[in-house]
Amino acid sequence: MIEFRSVSKTYPDGTAAVDDFSLVVPPHRTTVLVGSSGSGKTTLLRMINRMVDPTAGVIEIDGEPIADKDPVRLRRGIGYVLQNGGLLPHHTVMDNVTTVLRLEKTPKRVARDRALELLDTVGLDRTLAERYPSQLSGGQQQRVGVARALAADPNILLMDEPFGAVDPIVRAELQTETLRLQQELQKTIVFVTHDVDEAFLLGDQVVILEKSAKIAQVGSPSEILENPATEFVASFIGVERGARALHTKRTARGTVLVDTNGRTQGVLVEDGA
């Protein structure tokens, strides 16, 4: 479990990126932070692995304040996926995936086998292992980024707008793949996006943010869709404009697409499939 308690971050230039933010992130679930650009999402994410330290408040992981932990060791237990995968361009897929394992001095053979398994896990052909990032499609690069983040088998996975740079079809594919992976791996995922549809599709818990990471509403997708807490939330999720013609819903069968009349239009992910 990750807990933020009255956390603030003011950058040296005076920007109040996060102001008095409190949240419990439950284990083995996906929590999505969704808000407009500049609302403080990346700052929140980077405070979890101490790439940014708060100026006030406490963040705990499993009841222990992370301020007491060595940042390098802390980060080994936390995978981080960036937009475009954040891959090293002059390293092969194999070398990118095994970066952390090599730092940990994992025997070469073991690291190699683990990397190949990870390529299977993220749905990539093993023959891609010797390619360079520029020889892969955007979607493939993104999958390599996920494989790399999973290499040290972290309990926590941070994902910062990971699918922002790919086209809509590949994006939908990667979203479905993320749901499948999460059913299999059950990590504690904190996922950042500015896309409301993505938030409702992927999130068990969705956190809608305003400026300075002020929480407008926290809840499950259906709680928020059925009962937007404020005008801001209603307009942000598009119910006012009738823009939400289709929305996603978790059912006993899996995640389904539902139209404005509540009719199921399709199954995105079937549980136990």
Indicate whether 193 belongs to the interface with ligand ADP (CB under 6 A). Answer: no
Task: Write down the least CB distance from residue 173 to ligand ADP, Å.
Answer: 24
Nearest to 64 by CA among 153, 1, 152, 155: 1
The nearer residue to ligand ADP, 39 or 188, going by C-beta atoms, is 39
The region of 10-18, 80-88, 219-227, 262-270 touching ligand ADP under the rule CB under 6 A is: 10-18
**Positions 210 through 239 that interact with ligand ADP (CB under 6 A):** none
Closer Cβ to Mg ion, 42 or 212, answer by number = 42
Of the candidate residues 1, 11, 24, 253, the single one contacting ligand ADP (CB under 6 A) = 11
Please say which residue, 42 or 188, places its beta carbon nearer to Mg ion: 42
In one letter, which amino acid is 76?
R
What residues numbered 39-58 form the site for ligand ADP, per CB under 6 A?
39-43
The size of the interface with Mg ion (CB under 5 A), counted in residues, is 1
- At closest approach, how far in Å is the CB of 32 from Mg ion? 13
**Least CB distance from residue 38 to ligand ADP, whole Å?**
4
Helices 168-185 and 138-150: crossing angle in degrees, nearest 10, is 20
**Segment contacting ligand ADP (CB under 6 A): 36-44, 54-62, 131-139, 176-184?**
36-44
Could you say whether residue 39 binds Mg ion (CB under 5 A)?
no
Closest CA to 30 of 181, 229, 214, 131: 181
| Nearer CB in complex with ligand ADP: 38/266 | 38
When asked if residue 92 is in the footprint of ligand ADP (CB under 6 A), the reply is no
With respect to ligand ADP, which residue has the nearer C-beta, 39 or 217?
39
Please work out the total of residues on this chain that contact ligand ADP, with binding judged by CB under 6 A.
Answer: 12
Single residue of 39, 42, 193, 217 touching Mg ion by CB under 5 A: 42
Give whichever of 81 and 151 is closer to Mg ion, judged by the CB atom. Answer: 81
Query: Around 61, how many Cα atoms within 13 Å sit in the side-chain half-sphere?
Result: 19
Task: Choose among Mg ion, ligand ADP, none what residue 228 binds, the Cβ cut-off being 5 to 8 Å by kind.
Answer: none
Can you tell me which of 37, 127, 134, 261 binds ligand ADP, judged by CB under 6 A? 37
HEC letters along the chain: CEEEEEEEEECCCCCEEEEEEEEEECCCCEEEEEECCCCCHHHHHHHHCCCCCCCEEEEEECCEEHHHCCHHHHHHCEEEECHHHHCCCCCCHHHHHCHHHHHCCCCHHHHHHHHHHHHHHCCCCHHHHHCCHHHCCHHHHHHHHHHHHHCCCCCEEEEECCCCCCCHHHHHHHHHHHHHHHHHHCCEEEEEECCHHHHHHHCCEEEEECHHHCEEEEECHHHHHHCCCCHHHHHHHCCCCCCCCEEEEECCCEEEEEECCCCEEEEEEECCC
Give the footprint of Mg ion on this chain (CB under 5 A).
42
Give the footprint of ligand ADP on this chain (CB under 6 A).
11, 13, 15, 17, 35, 37-43
